Structure 1
Amino acid sequence: MLDFEATSGGVPLDALAVPRRSGTEPFTQAGAAAGAVLTDFWAWACSDLMSNRLRGVLAEYIVALAMGAGDGVRTEWDAVDLRLPGGLDIEVKSAAYVQSWSQQRLSRIEFNVAPAKGWDARTNTVATVPHRPSRVYVFCLLHHTDKATVNPLDLDQWEFYVTPTTMLDAALGTQARVSLARLQTITPSSVTFGELAARITECMEG
């Protein structure tokens, strides 16, 4: 088993308690402000919201926002993307037709749904058998196709396909990727951001 636990002199080092930062925290040198604050770093590192990795993190936040859970701190590398009260574990996947880089054509839409031996951040353990541990998948498609006006902060440019994990398992087995056309045979209709929370709750209760 992969061991994520660091030790120092044989004494286990507990996971860090990560505070939610405001962005006003300064960089310092010798105890004095060094001329930049945390939002300067965020602007430098996170302005390209169309990049594949950052768009995926943004999609997780959008789903958390819809569920009234956008005030916490994201856990990196957990087996599921969102853990909400009541045992609702959500996996979030994102895709877009347009990308940051130069394109010859719009991107083909497909999502990664591969079962995995995920690491559980709560227990510091890794699953022994590949599986999909969430109860619900939310597939977030940035459906806007005009590169000049695409804006991932405009929630009207997104559509969402909410699928119980049991339905994915039944339809796809151990398949690693699913195209949009195939997904639409499993979950025929998408929802808007305003409808997202109700659909997730419906799938959880169903």
Structure 2
Amino acid sequence: MTSAPFNPIELPPLQGDETFTGVDATVNDFWRFAMSDLRVNTVRGYVAEFLISRALGLTGVADSMTECDLRWNGISINVKSSGYLQAWSQRSLSRIQFSGLYRRAWSVEDGSLGEVPDFHTDVYVFAVQTATEPDKYDQLDANQWDFYVLSQAAVRAHGWGSLSLRKLESLGAARLKLSDLPTAIREAANVGDRQPSRWTRQALQGEGFEGFIPFEAP
């Protein structure tokens, strides 16, 4: 593998009071401009990661350049978020769906995509913003979130790249609150070496299956 010729240097986390050069504005001004509405899908995903990280006692910053969203006690975690309400007008509530579970790995070292899609983290945490009435959506209330946890083995056994909320529940994922997550994530990480409950093609390939060998006729 050849390393990429241009590699970013590590920067200290911004505090918010830093000032731009050439314009009268601070980083806080930029954050207020770009991320003041926490209902926006791209921002809401970071809100989910932030809440989960705090529940796990993590204090670092988000890293979108790695395959896992969070790493806790050696456990790699992928966070998926969804909600019934959006930052735009709706004719009906959104269907809760989580995608991007089965994908090609992205290499930090050389900026390339892997050739074979797979499931890349030990544990998956699915976060749902539960408000269903626009005037009651409190973007700063962590109690308006539900969480569901599945091991990689459970997601792999299902074999699909996306899951609905109903399918999550049928796979045994219980509705949790923030305080439940440390125990649930730890337990899910410990079932990684159990056999999948459903042997799909993806699940078989994940266990090293390459193909059937025909028996010779007697």
TM-score (norm 1): 0.85
Amino acid at match of 2:87: S
2:41 is matched with 52
Residue of structure 1 aligned with 2:30, choices 4, 29, 41: 41
Larger Rg: 2
Residue of structure 2 aligned with 1:191, choices 176, 193, 197: 176
Residue 17 (structure 1) aligned with residue 5 (structure 2):
no
Q: CA deviation at 1:163?
A: 0.4
Higher normalized strand content (fraction of residues): 1
Q: Which stretch of structure 1 is more off in the superposition, 161-170 or 117-126?
A: 117-126
**RMSD between aligned residues:** 2.0
Could you tell me how far apart the structure 2 residues matched to 1:60 and 1:184 are?
A: 21
2:161 is matched with 176
Q: CA deviation at 1:50?
A: 0.9
Q: CA deviation at 1:165?
A: 1.0
Task: Give 3-state SS (helix, strand or coil) of 2:20's partner.
Answer: strand
| 1:93 to 1:126, Cα distance in 2 relative to 1, 3 A | same
1:81 is matched with 69
Matched residues, percent identical?
34
Could you tell me how far apart the structure 2 residues matched to 1:205 and 1:19 are?
A: 34
Residue 91 (structure 1) aligned with residue 78 (structure 2):
yes
1:148 is matched with 135
Task: Give 3-state SS (helix, strand or coil) of 2:16's partner.
Answer: coil
* Alignment deviations for residues 99-133 of structure 1 (CA, whole Å, 9 cap, x no partner): 11001111111111441112143676643321011
* Structure 2: unaligned runs, 5 residues or longer: 192-218
Q: CA deviation at 1:66?
A: 1.1
Are the equivalent residues in 1 in contact too, given 2:104–2:114 (CA < 8 A)? yes
Are the equivalent residues in 2 in contact too, given 1:161–1:187 (CA < 8 A)? no
Amino acid at match of 1:177: S
Residue of structure 2 aligned with 1:200, choices 165, 179, 185: 185
Amino acid at match of 1:137: Y
Amino acid at match of 2:64: E
Are the equivalent residues in 2 in contact too, given 1:162–1:187 (CA < 8 A)? no
Q: CA deviation at 1:55?
A: 0.7
Amino acid at match of 1:198: T
Could you tell me how far apart the structure 2 residues matched to 1:155 and 1:137 are?
A: 19
Are the equivalent residues in 2 in contact too, given 1:113–1:178 (CA < 8 A)? no
Are the equivalent residues in 2 in contact too, given 1:96–1:142 (CA < 8 A)? yes
Are the equivalent residues in 1 in contact too, given 2:82–2:128 (CA < 8 A)? yes
Amino acid at match of 1:27: F
Residue 104 (structure 1) aligned with residue 91 (structure 2):
yes
Amino acid at match of 1:151: D
Amino acid at match of 2:20: F
